[in-house]
């Protein structure tokens, strides 16, 4: 393949038959057909058969197969058939579930797939990175991920981090210069960029020379790691729990088997008893319920503008206790409008600027020429700060494109949020003028002269004081203030950072960026939920504080500090002071990491937003890294675990509520499954110890565990968030679901259901001559009681508080369960298969009566607890009121 580092720009373009206006649509189609999509080959996904077979690796399936074999040996044809049918059905369900989960993760991935900016048919457009083709003209800017390999054809101080390819961690400077050699190491190909690198600084136009597997990274990448989701911490801990439980259960099974043999029971019957116990007890669905509920949760969140990139984040969101948020665009609208302007010693309205005034005209020229944004036909493209300046120009009849056409840009140093300045070089009236705009505090120390209507003067102490005071007054009103200056250069040349000094000050332009309407409420919700909201911004401290106060982040006793003050503190000091700081101004990305770490050391769980190229490390360090979907760079999106498609702070708070809800729902589903299993174990163990006949045939337990239990568990997982969700404090970092209280609850509820099941067994004649009737009644009662129990597990509160019809899925699951059970009880063919006997009307009524008892007891306890809690709350309110009265 031809190399392009030793080909000049013109020849390279010729090779691809393209100009800087980009490919035509026709050429793109041809290139796409010839070269295919710009993607690396992924390892082949598992086939349906492979997934299906992998379902048989399960312990439960192994036990079921034993059950099937025993049934076969005891010549019980129906039972054998049912068991094997269930094993296969279970595997089919598992396979379907696997592909469903994969599908939902794939669709989430597609939502967050990287994009690239290209010029095609003369226009700049943004496309999915995988549609980039050789010959495309790629636009690279700080924060972009390089989408393909290419030759640089225009370069504005481009710096690229190529560590993924070369291992070199420092960014390298790029150039357009041809390299006149046959062979050059990748790291030295300074006029090329490579797929997978990060643009850390500057801008460039690049001719794409190869895509997909033909890129350098494609050549070295053996097949990509399968992009399968890792298990979340919750799943890992549940898997661990299930495994331990399975061993304990197996040990008990062995004891039960021994006991039966000792009692001289038939060997096969004894084995069946032990197997029945294992089937009743092994909680096979725990991990898969977590996956289903998490996946459903992510779909809901995606609809509410939060794209989750890692399932782990849903779990983490529920325990977030600190949210560090950018100001501009996240808490505010990012719709800037110019307000007051300070020029020539006067503060005037932006709209009253005049081109006839020499100084004002220079200020306007600076604001539009030292500016990359446009606003044409109502379409605003670029940084809102700059768009505000362009819009001001429009009001004064200046068209930015025409002005930029008349006075072209000869060199530039792009804006970056560390330096907080931007400079461009132009030829104006035969002078080489470097225009600079940026933060006043960065610029003022470097100002030597001031432009006035009486000419250029050396800047005096008084002039500086006036500027500082004006800046303070504007900032106190929440306005963002930009300073403008210029400097004359002797020649046209590339600009360097050393040029940015000895400025002539022209003026200040202030602009308003109002808070988002929903920010205030979202901040209040956060505080109520025990989460501390913190503002981190590159803006001025006074501006930031004014906005933070308005939306409730900066409250009495809270402090606002600047990045410089963080520099003066060591990590220990920062940690000790951090609790009272709620606004960080003029920060750079390195400060963000220190802030996250300090909070984490205090044991807090931190969510942090970021949009810039240098935010990636802080986003990775945070427990939940949140990138901005609209204004965020590709690099930040890549590093984040969640992307906000509306860049809105309120969406973060909504996601935290969703995260808490998902966690609670998972907990409740698990409670439902475990308590149902416990009831089964108690019934089987009791009957074994008391030497009663076999209470359940394994098919009974299979029927419950695999058919009637799964739907209510999923329905519980879909319970809506209740209003009180944000009234509770966040849960701790290491708080596990399986606490003592939780397990005690599971035990007690299981006991209740187990007892009514045994009562049904006795009443059905366990000790008499009708063991089959007795076992039918026990089975039906247990099954029904578990279906009723689904309503108890919907939440901590009583069903009356939760709303009897608040979860239609719960009713659906109950209804289907009821139909399934009644089919087994009444359809003769199924009666045979599931080893049940017809019941009399009285017996049938008795089942319902017994089955509903645990639910009545559990709901009564909940209602009583609620009343006690309400009374306590009333007492505290009255006490507080009395105290207030006394004070008054």
Question: Which residues lie near ligand ATP (CB under 6 A)?
Answer: 326-328, 383, 385-386, 415, 417, 420, 422, 437-439, 480, 482, 537-540
**Helix runs in 318-460, H state only:** 358-369, 384-395, 400-406, 440-443
216 vs 386, beta carbon nearer ligand ATP: 386
Alpha carbons 147 and 140: distance in angstroms, whole number: 9
In the complex, minimum distance from the CB of residue 587 to ligand ATP, in angstroms, rounded to a whole number: 7
* Torsion 401-402-404-408 (CA) sign: positive
Q: Any idea what the Cα angle at residue 68 is, between residues 65 and 70, rounded to 5°?
A: 110
328 vs 504, beta carbon nearer ligand ATP: 328
Alpha carbons 574 and 601: distance in angstroms, whole number: 11
479 vs 692, beta carbon nearer ligand ATP: 479
In the complex, minimum distance from the CB of residue 500 to ligand ATP, in angstroms, rounded to a whole number: 11
239 vs 590, beta carbon nearer ligand ATP: 590
370 vs 713, beta carbon nearer ligand ATP: 370
Distances in whole angstroms, Cα of residue 647 to Cα of each of 322, 325, 328: 18, 10, 10
Spell out the residues 6+ positions from residue 94 whose beta carbon is closer than 8 angstroms to its own. Answer: 51, 52, 55, 288
Alpha carbons 444 and 471: distance in angstroms, whole number: 11
Alpha carbons 36 and 30: distance in angstroms, whole number: 10
In the complex, minimum distance from the CB of residue 471 to ligand ATP, in angstroms, rounded to a whole number: 10
Distances in whole angstroms, Cα of residue 419 to Cα of each of 137, 368, 567: 29, 20, 16
Alpha carbons 24 and 3: distance in angstroms, whole number: 24
CA-wise closest residue to 786 among 674, 665, 671, 676: 676
**Helix runs in 710-840, H state only:** 710-717, 740-763, 771-792, 799-802, 808-826, 828-833
CA trace torsion 694, 700, 702, 707 (10° rounding): -160
In the complex, minimum distance from the CB of residue 139 to ligand ATP, in angstroms, rounded to a whole number: 17
* Torsion 699-702-707-711 (CA) sign: positive
In the complex, minimum distance from the CB of residue 194 to ligand ATP, in angstroms, rounded to a whole number: 28
Alpha carbons 699 and 806: distance in angstroms, whole number: 33
In the complex, minimum distance from the CB of residue 326 to ligand ATP, in angstroms, rounded to a whole number: 4
Alpha carbons 251 and 257: distance in angstroms, whole number: 10
Query: Judging by beta carbons within 10 Å of its beta carbon (0-12, 13-18, 19+), is residue 636 exposed, middle or buried?
Result: buried
Q: Is 407 helix (H, G, I), strand (E, B) or coil?
A: coil
Distances in whole angstroms, Cα of residue 701 to Cα of each of 29, 96, 470, 484, 792: 59, 23, 79, 78, 21
Check if the beta carbon of residue 790 is closer than 8 Å to that of residue 715: yes
Alpha carbons 52 and 188: distance in angstroms, whole number: 50
Strands 559-562 and 447-452: unpaired
Q: Is 326 a catalytic residue?
A: yes
Q: Looking at beta carbons, which residue is closest to ligand ATP?
A: 538
Check if the beta carbon of residue 778 is closer than 8 Å to that of residue 696: yes
In the complex, minimum distance from the CB of residue 285 to ligand ATP, in angstroms, rounded to a whole number: 45
In the complex, minimum distance from the CB of residue 17 to ligand ATP, in angstroms, rounded to a whole number: 37
Strands 532-536 and 322-326: parallel
In the complex, minimum distance from the CB of residue 438 to ligand ATP, in angstroms, rounded to a whole number: 4
Alpha carbons 884 and 452: distance in angstroms, whole number: 60
58 vs 558, beta carbon nearer ligand ATP: 558
Q: Which of 136, 144, 149, 326 is catalytic?
A: 326
Work out the number of other CB atoms within 10 angstroms of the CB of residue 163: 15
In the complex, minimum distance from the CB of residue 199 to ligand ATP, in angstroms, rounded to a whole number: 17
Query: Judging by beta carbons within 10 Å of its beta carbon (0-12, 13-18, 19+), is residue 761 exposed, middle or buried?
Result: buried
537 vs 705, beta carbon nearer ligand ATP: 537
In the complex, minimum distance from the CB of residue 632 to ligand ATP, in angstroms, rounded to a whole number: 10
In the complex, minimum distance from the CB of residue 782 to ligand ATP, in angstroms, rounded to a whole number: 58
Alpha carbons 478 and 276: distance in angstroms, whole number: 70
142 vs 451, beta carbon nearer ligand ATP: 142
383 vs 565, beta carbon nearer ligand ATP: 383
Check if the beta carbon of residue 75 is closer than 8 Å to that of residue 63: no
Partners of residue 376 on adjacent β-strands? 379
In the complex, minimum distance from the CB of residue 322 to ligand ATP, in angstroms, rounded to a whole number: 17
Alpha carbons 301 and 877: distance in angstroms, whole number: 36
Strands 409-413 and 503-512: unpaired
Check if the beta carbon of residue 256 is closer than 8 Å to that of residue 688: yes
Strands 322-326 and 606-610: parallel
326 vs 499, beta carbon nearer ligand ATP: 326
419 vs 559, beta carbon nearer ligand ATP: 419
476 vs 873, beta carbon nearer ligand ATP: 476
138 vs 482, beta carbon nearer ligand ATP: 482
- Residues taking part in catalysis: 326
């Amino acid at each position: 393949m031809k190399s392009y580092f030793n080909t000049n720009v013109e020849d390279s373009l010729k090779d691809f038959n393209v100009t800087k206006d980009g490919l035509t649509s026709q050429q793109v189609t041809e290139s796409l057909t010839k070269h295919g999509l710009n993607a690396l080959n992924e390892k082949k996904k598992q086939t349906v058969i492979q997934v299906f077979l992998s379902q048989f690796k399960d312990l439960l399936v192994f036990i079921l197969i034993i059950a099937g074999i025993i049934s076969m040996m005891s010549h019980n044809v129906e039972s054998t058939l049912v068991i094997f049918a269930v094993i296969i059905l279970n595997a089919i369900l598992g396979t379907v579930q696997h592909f469903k989960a994969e599908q939902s993760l794939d669709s989430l991935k597609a939502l967050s797939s990287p994009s690239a900016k290209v010029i095609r048919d003369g226009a700049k457009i943004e496309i999915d990175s995988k549609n980039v083709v050789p010959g495309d003209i790629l636009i690279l800017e700080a924060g972009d991920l390089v989408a393909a390999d290419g030759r640089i054809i225009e370069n504005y101080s481009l710096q690229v981090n190529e560590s993924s390819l070369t291992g070199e961690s420092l960014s390298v400077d790029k150039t357009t210069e041809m390299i006149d050699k046959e062979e050059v190491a990748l790291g030295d190909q300074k006029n090329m960029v490579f797929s997978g690198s990060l643009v850390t600084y500057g801008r460039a136009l690049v001719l794409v020379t190869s895509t997909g597997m033909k890129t350098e990274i494609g050549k070295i990448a053996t097949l990509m790691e399968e992009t399968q989701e890792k298990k979340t911490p919750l799943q890992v801990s549940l898997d661990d729990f299930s495994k331990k439980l399975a061993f304990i259960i197996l040990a008990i099974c062995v004891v039960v088997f021994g006991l039966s043999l000792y009692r001289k029971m038939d060997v096969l019957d004894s084995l069946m008893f032990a197997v029945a116990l294992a089937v009743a007890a092994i909680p096979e669905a725990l991990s898969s319920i977590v996956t289903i509920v998490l996946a459903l949760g992510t779909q809901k969140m995606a609809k509410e503008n939060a794209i989750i990139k890692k399932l782990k984040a849903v779990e983490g969101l529920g325990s977030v206790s600190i949210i560090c948020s950018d100001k501009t665009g996240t808490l505010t609208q990012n719709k800037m409008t110019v307000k007051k302007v300070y020029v020539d010693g006067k503060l005037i309205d932006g709209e009253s600027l005049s081109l006839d005034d020499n100084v004002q005209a220079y200020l306007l020229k600076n604001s539009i020429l030292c500016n990359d944004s446009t606003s044409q036909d109502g379409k605003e493209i670029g940084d809102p700060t700059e768009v505000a300046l362009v819009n001001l120009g429009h009001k004064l009849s200046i068209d930015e494109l025409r002005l930029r056409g008349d006075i072209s840009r000869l060199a530039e140093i792009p804006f970056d949020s560390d330096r907080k300045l931007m400079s461009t070089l132009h030829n104006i009236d035969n002078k080489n003028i470097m225009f600079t705009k940026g933060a006043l505090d960065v610029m003022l120390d470097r100002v030597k002269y001031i432009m006035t209507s009486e000419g250029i003067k050396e800047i005096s102490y008084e002039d500086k004081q006036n500027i500082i005071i004006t800046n303070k007054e504007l900032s106190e009103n929440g306005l963002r203030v930009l300073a403008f200056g210029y400097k004359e250069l002797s020649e046209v040349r590339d600009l360097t950072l050393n040029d940015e000094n000895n400025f002539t000050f022209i003026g200040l332009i202030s602009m308003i960026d109002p808070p988002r309407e929903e920010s205030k409420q979202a901040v209040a919700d956060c505080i109520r939920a025990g989460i501390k909201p913190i503002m981190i911004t590159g803006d001025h401290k006074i501006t930031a504080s004014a906005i933070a106060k308005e939306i409730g982040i900066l409250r009495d006793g809270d402090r606002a500090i600047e990045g410089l003050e963080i520099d003066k503190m060591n990590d220990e000091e920062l940690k000790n002071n951090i609790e009272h700081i709620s606004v960080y101004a003029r920060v750079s990305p390195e400060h963000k990491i220190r802030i996250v770490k300090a909070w984490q050391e205090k044991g807090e769980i931190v969510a942090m937003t970021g949009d810039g190229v240098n935010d990636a490390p802080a986003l990775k360090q945070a427990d939940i890294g949140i990138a901005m979907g609209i204004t965020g760079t590709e690099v930040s999106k890549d590093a984040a675990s969640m992307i906000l498609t509306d860049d809105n702070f309120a969406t973060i708070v909504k996601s935290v509520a969703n995260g808490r809800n998902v966690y609670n729902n998972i907990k409740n589903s698990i409670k439902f499954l475990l308590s149902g299993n416990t009831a089964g174990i108690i019934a089987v163990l009791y009957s074994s110890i008391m030497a009663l006949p076999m209470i359940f045939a394994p098919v009974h337990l299979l029927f419950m565990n695999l058919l009637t239990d799964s739907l209510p568990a999923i329905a519980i997982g879909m319970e809506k968030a209740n209003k009180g969700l944000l009234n509770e404090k966040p849960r701790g970092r290491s708080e596990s679901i399986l606490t003592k209280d939780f397990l005690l609850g599971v035990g007690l509820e299981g006991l209740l259901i187990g007892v009514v099941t045994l009562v049904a067994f006795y009443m059905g004649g366990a000790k008499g001559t009708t063991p089959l009737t007795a076992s039918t009644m026990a089975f039906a009662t247990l099954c029904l009681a578990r279906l009723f129990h689904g309503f108890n597990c919907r939440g901590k509160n009583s069903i009356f508080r939760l709303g009897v019809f608040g979860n239609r899925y719960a009713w659906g699951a109950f209804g289907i369960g009821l139909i399934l059970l009644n089919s087994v009880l009444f359809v003769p063919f199924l009666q045979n298969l599931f080893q049940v006997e017809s019941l009399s009307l009285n017996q049938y009524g008795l089942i319902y009566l017994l089955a509903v008892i645990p639910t009545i007891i559990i709901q009564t306890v909940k209602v009583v607890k609620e009343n006690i809690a309400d009374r306590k709350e009333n007492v505290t309110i009255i006490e507080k009121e009395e105290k207030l009265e006394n004070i008054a």
